[in-house]
Amino acid sequence: MAKKDIRALSLAQLSDVFKEIGEPAFRAKQVFEWLWSKSETDFTQMSNLSKKLRDFLEENFVINAVQISELQISSDRTIKCAMQLHDNYVVESVLIPHQDRMTACISSQVGCSLTCKFCATGKLKRMRNLNADEIYDQVALVKKTAFEKYNAPLTNIVYMGMGEPLLNYNEVLASVEKITSPQGLGMSPKRITVSTAGVAKMIIKLADDKVKFNLALSLHAANDEKRNYIMPINETNSLDNLIEALNYFIEKTGSRPTFEYIVFKDFNDSIQDAHELVEFCRKVKGKVNIIEYNPIDDGEFRQTSVEKLRAFTDYLEGHGVICNVRRSRGKDIDAACGQLANKNKLAVPQVK
C-alpha cells in the first residue's frame, strides 16, 4: 500500500491514527508539533517518540518535503532559492533583507495561467497548484536561510512569487493558518501580504472569510484599455468590478489594500496615468507602491526615466495619495519582481 501524506492529516485525524494503534492522544500533539512548529521533515529526528513509534511512522507515512536545490545570492544580499518539490517540479522563493526586516517572497503555483505581459512567470504554463505544506515549507526554508546567512529572524511574508494565490484559494488559506497558528510557526497575519492580479469574486470570498492578512492588488494601470493589454485577467475582472470587490473587502475586514504599480516607459508613466491612478484611489482607499520595472527576456517594456518617475510620484502625493517607491532587489540574479521564471526547469519534472 502507498504511504499516506502525514501532513495532509489534521490533528484530530492524527489522534485517531494513534488511538487505533494504542498510543496515547498526546503523541499526536507531539508529532503535530514536530511537523508544523519545528518544521521537521524526518521521522527519525522526532526524538521524544519511541523508536517503535518512529518506525511505525516511517513505514506508514511520508513527508513530501520541499528542498532547496539551488541558492543564489545577489550583490544586494537578496537570496533566490530554487525549491524542488516531491514530484521534482521546481518553484522559486526569495529572501529580501532590509535593515529592519527580513521578507520571504513565496510561490503558490508551479508556473502561472495569467499571461501578464510584463512578467516572466506569466510566460510559463501553470503545471499545478502547490499544496499548503509546500507553501509552508518555502517559508520554513527561507526562515532557516535568514538565520544561517544573516543571523536574523524572518519578519514578513509576501505571496508575490510564482502563480496567482487566489486561483489556489483553499491551499493558500490553509498555508496561512499553518504559518500563523500557535501550533505552527506563530507568525502574525499582519506580517503577511497576499498579492493578487485581481480576481474579484475571490476578493469577495476573502472578505466573507474575514481574513486577517493584508491584501495587495497588482494594478499597473488605472484604465481598462491599458490594463486589458498588459493583464488579460482584466477582461473578466474590470476595474469597476475590482473597485466593488475591494470596497466590500474593506467594509468586512477593516483593512485597506495596497496597490502595486509598475511604471513602464511611455506606457503608464504620464501625468494622465497618474491622474487616473488618483481617481482610482478616490474610489478605493489604499496606499500605492510604485515599483521599478525589471526587464525580462524578450520583454517589450522598459524602465521609465528618473525624471518621469519623480513627476509621477509628485503628482500622486500632491493629490493626497500615499505612495512609496520600491527599489528592485536581486535583479542581477533574476530575483526581482516579475523575474521569477525558473528558466528551463518547468516544462517537465526534473529527474534527480
Rounded Cα gap, residues 207 and 214, in angstroms: 11
Rounded Cα gap, residues 294 and 220, in angstroms: 13
CA distances from 287 to 215, 240, 260, 261, 277 (A): 11, 18, 9, 11, 11
- AA identity, residue 17: V
Q: What angle do CA 86, 195, 78 make, to 5 degrees?
A: 65
For residue 154 the three cell numbers come to: 524572518
The position carrying cell 466573507 is 208
Among the listed residues 81, 116, 323, 337, the single catalytic one is 337
Q: Where do runs of H (alpha helix) occur along 116-270?
A: 132-150, 169-180, 200-208, 224-230, 239-253
337 is catalytic: yes
- AA identity, residue 315: Y
> What crossing angle do the helices spanning 169-180 and 132-150 adopt, rounded to 10°?
40
Among the listed residues 40, 92, 134, 292, the single catalytic one is 92
- AA identity, residue 200: A
Rounded Cα gap, residues 255 and 317, in angstroms: 21
92 is catalytic: yes
Please list the active-site residues: 92, 337
